Amino acid sequence: MVKNVRRAGCFLGLLAATNGGLIFFLCSGYGAAWRWILCGVLLALFVSINVRPGGGTAPTKRIRRLTAGCELLRLFLATATVNAAWMLLWLPAAIRNSRDGGIFAGLWLAIWLLIAVPMVILEATIFWNGMIRVYITSVQLGIRHRVLAALCGFIPIINLWYLRKIIRITADEAEFETEKWELDDQRAESEVCKTRYPIVLVHGVFFRDFRYVNYWGRIPKELRRNGAELYYGCQQSAASVEDAGKELAERIRAITGETGCEKVNMIAHSKGGLDARAAISHQGCGPLVATLTTINTPHRGCIFAEYLLNRLPDAARQKMAAAYNAALKRLGDTAPDFLAAVTDLTESRCLRRNELTPDAPGVVYESVSSFCARARSGKFPLNVTYPVVRHFDGKNDGLVAVDSARWGSRFTLLTPAGRRGISHGDVIDLNRENIPGFDVREFYVNLVADLKRRGY
């Protein structure tokens, strides 16, 4: 109620500031001093609305700025529509009166221009203030909406439609993030993710654990807010499963030695799940691992990957491998091996490895999988690979088939409502997208909280 009253007050105040003060200044019979005083009050109101448009109760600075940007854009949309409507209605009369001749010829048109030009400047100030705020602070707009909004800005009517879309996206984001922050604040003392053993997050192929560009998106911060002790696998991004398994084994021993903990809980995505299994079964880390939860891991391989590798000429494979290896080396891999990494994801290689990699006794193995409802469920390039993988492997997340991801004593299939689906990137918050029906951060909080409830 208070928010709506404040919004209405800002709306009326902005209308007054954009044109009412000018009309009073030009047409009022009061003394000049009163005119200047009123204009000063309206100017102060205009500055106040721009500096503190709203969002003061939001929990973080980013959310406050985002909320404020939404409020400014709402004010612009409402006041610009009203101002434009009555200025357009007044324009024919101003033109007609200016053509009548006489001592006041041209006066009405001059007055119209004196009001219209400052009004456009003031409305533009409100618009750009709001737009800059949401462009800087919003995560959900992404590059696509930012670019499309800029392009649509030059198309009448379409620009207003897209502005409403921008407002809706950013307002929903602000509301969602506020609710999530409040939820975390309520359960902060419970430390629902403070497990007995620390969590090790293991990345998939062709990615690394960079400090500032997190492979796991917003998930680590959410887990830490709820008490989790987190570490990363830090294995090379492109290496064979066995080589990556050796690196993971060294990392696990370093973590247990550093923290003094007896074991770790591993959560591994994609090929990282295969690397983790190799570290446990082939590198003697079974006694140091309490649980392994694999997320969309191709335990039985990818048929489409094997098909593509077999059909691709050797010269093309070597050329592609050389290009990838050079790029990955610049990103931090010491000895990248593109072909070894990809070959270890094929069906034949995975099935053979499964025979040689029995589950270690004492380690709890569990798995999670998701799938795309259609190609559009995944962002590029997963929207392109989805139909190919579906042809060879069946229901999939854009890369990994559901049947291939099933492993261990408990299997969870993520099935959100609607036709959105959950892609291979969505399960690690790769695009930082709030997906209707699937809160990826809350999923990991519940996953880790469940490990805590079971004593791990």
What confidence score (pLDDT) does residue 277 get? Answer: 98
CA 190 from chain centre, in angstroms, equals: 27
CB < 8 Å & 24+ apart, contacts of 207-210: 207/237, 208/234, 208/236, 208/237, 208/331, 208/332, 208/333, 209/233, 209/234
Average of per-residue pLDDT across 248-262 = 95
Mean pLDDT of 149-165: 90
- Give SS3 for 289: strand
Q: What is the pLDDT of residue 5?
A: 44
- Of 373, 387, 406, the residue nearest 301 (C-alpha): 406
CB-count burial class (<10 Å; 0-12, 13-18, 19+) for 333: buried
> Is pLDDT at 434 greater than 90 in this prediction?
yes
d(CA 382, CA 12) in angstroms, rounded, equals: 48
Is residue 438 within 8 Å of residue 417, measured between CB atoms? Answer: no
Interacting residues of 111 by C-beta distance below 8 A, sequence separation 6+: 26, 94
| Largest distance between two CA atoms of the chain | 102
Top pLDDT among 264 and 91 is at 264
3-state secondary structure (DSSP) of residue 275: helix
pLDDT at 75: 87
Q: Does residue 19 carry a pLDDT above 60?
A: no
The average pLDDT across 135-149 equals 92
Greater confidence, 105 or 244?
244
Give the model's pLDDT for residue 218. 95
Q: Phi/psi zone of residue 102: left (φ > 0), alpha (ψ -120 to 50 degrees), beta?
A: left
Q: In whole numbers, what is the pLDDT of the chain averaged over residues?
A: 87
Residue 295, strand partner residues: 269, 368
Q: Which of 10-14, 300-304, 338-342, 444-448 has the highest mean pLDDT?
A: 444-448
> What is the pLDDT averaged over residues 366-377?
91
pLDDT digits (tens, 9 = 90+) for 170-228: 999 999 999 999 999 999 889 999 999 999 999 999 888 887 789 999 999 999 999 99
Tell me phi and psi for residue 412, to 5 degrees.
-115, 125
Q: CA–CA separation, 448 vs 428, rounded Å?
A: 14
Q: What is the pLDDT of residue 454?
A: 97
38-63 per-position pLDDT tens digit: 667 777 777 777 787 776 678 899 99
Name the token pair of 47. 């500055």
Q: Tell me, what's the pLDDT at 153?
A: 84
pLDDT band at 1 (very low <50, low <70, confident <90, very high): very low
The CA distance from 15 to 75, in Å, is 9
- Give the predicted TM-score (pTM) of the model: 0.85
> Using CA atoms, how far apart are residues 134 and 70, in angstroms rounded to an integer?
7
The pLDDT value given to residue 209: 87
Grade residue 427 by pLDDT with cuts at 50, 70 and 90. very high
Q: Using alpha carbons only, what angle is made at residue 407 by residues 405 and 412, rounded to the nearest 5 degrees?
A: 70
CA dihedral 414, 415, 418, 423 (to 10 degrees): 40
Give the per-residue pLDDT at 426. Answer: 95
Which tens digits make up the pLDDT trace of 301-323? 998 888 888 888 888 888 988 99
Asked if the bond preceding 381 is cis, omega within 30° of 0, the reply is yes
Cβ atoms of 402 and 369 closer than 8 Å: yes
Q: For residue 358, what are the CA distances in angstroms to 252, 270, 353, 410? A: 19, 19, 9, 17
- pLDDT beyond 80 at 33: no
User: What confidence score (pLDDT) does residue 335 get?
Assistant: 87
Average confidence (pLDDT) over 419-447: 93
pLDDT at residue 29, as a whole number: 52
| Confidence bin at 122 (pLDDT 50/70/90) | confident
Size of the chain, expressed as the number of residues it contains: 456
Secondary structure class of 180 (helix, strand, coil): helix
* Contact (CB, 8 A) for 235 and 208: no
Domains in the chain with CATH codes: 2-183 (no CATH), 192-453 (3.40.50.1820)
| Average pLDDT of span 405-430 | 92
Burial track 364-379 (b if 16+ CB lie within 10 A, e otherwise): bbbbbbbbbbebebbb
**pLDDT value of residue 32:** 63
- Between 189 and 85, residue with greater pLDDT: 189
